[in-house]
């Protein structure tokens, strides 16, 4: 019994505490788990992977704090975008843009050939080889 007291007195990991607070804000999750539609492990993994503000939690939210969450979601989205832009390597972006440009040029060439407007294609009357008569 003494071993049980030390285990119970041990503080929970901070992420577990945050998850507990999240579940308290989303009581419909408790109903999902109790009805057997989800397990606590699935809910925790989704929470850990997607975060609190993801759209997957929309069915479990109450309608009262929706506006606040939308503002918070918009600022989170901007924060994510800023972080993503901060991680971009300009040289890598330039390489990708160059390859996209080449692909678009190739597609344009193919389309112009199908449309018959390609200046590189000889006319039917002209022969591709020019021979002179002496």
What is the per-residue pLDDT across 8-58, written as a single tens digit (0 to 9) for each? 557 777 778 888 888 888 888 888 889 888 888 888 888 888 888 888 888
Long-range (24+ apart) CB contacts under 8 A made by 53-60 are 57/26, 59/28, 60/26, 60/28, 60/29, 60/32
Q: How confident is the model at residue 117 (pLDDT cuts 50, 70, 90)?
A: low
Phi and psi of 105, rounded to 5°? -65, -40
Residue 121 has what pLDDT? Answer: 53
Q: Cα–Cα distance between 19 and 29 in angstroms, integer?
A: 12
DSSP letter, residue 36:
T
What token pair was written down for 83?
Answer: 């972080």
Containing 43, the helix (H) or strand (E) segment is helix 40-50
- Give 105-128 as a 3 state SS string: HHHHHHHHHHHCCCCCCCCCCCCC
Residue 101 has what pLDDT? Answer: 92
- The larger pLDDT score, comparing residue 119 to residue 110, is at 110
For range 58-77, the mean pLDDT: 66
Residue 75 has what pLDDT? Answer: 78
Residue 120 has what pLDDT? Answer: 55
Residue 68 has what pLDDT? Answer: 55
pLDDT at 122 over 70: no
């Amino acid at each position: 019994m003494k071993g049980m007291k030390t285990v119970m007195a041990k503080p929970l990991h901070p992420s577990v505490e945050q998850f507990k607070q999240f579940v308290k804000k989303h009581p419909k999750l408790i109903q999902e788990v109790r009805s057997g539609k989800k397990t606590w492990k699935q809910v925790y993994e989704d929470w850990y992977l997607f975060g609190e503000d993801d759209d997957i939690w929309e069915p479990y939210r109450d309608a009262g704090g929706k506006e606040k969450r939308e503002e918070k979601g918009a600022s989170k989205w901007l924060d994510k975008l800023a972080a993503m832009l901060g991680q971009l390597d300009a040289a890598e972006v330039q390489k990708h843009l160059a390859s996209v440009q080449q692909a678009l040029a190739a597609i344009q060439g193919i389309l112009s050939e199908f449309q018959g407007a390609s200046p590189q294609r000889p006319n039917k009357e002209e022969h591709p080889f020019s021979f002179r008569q002496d």
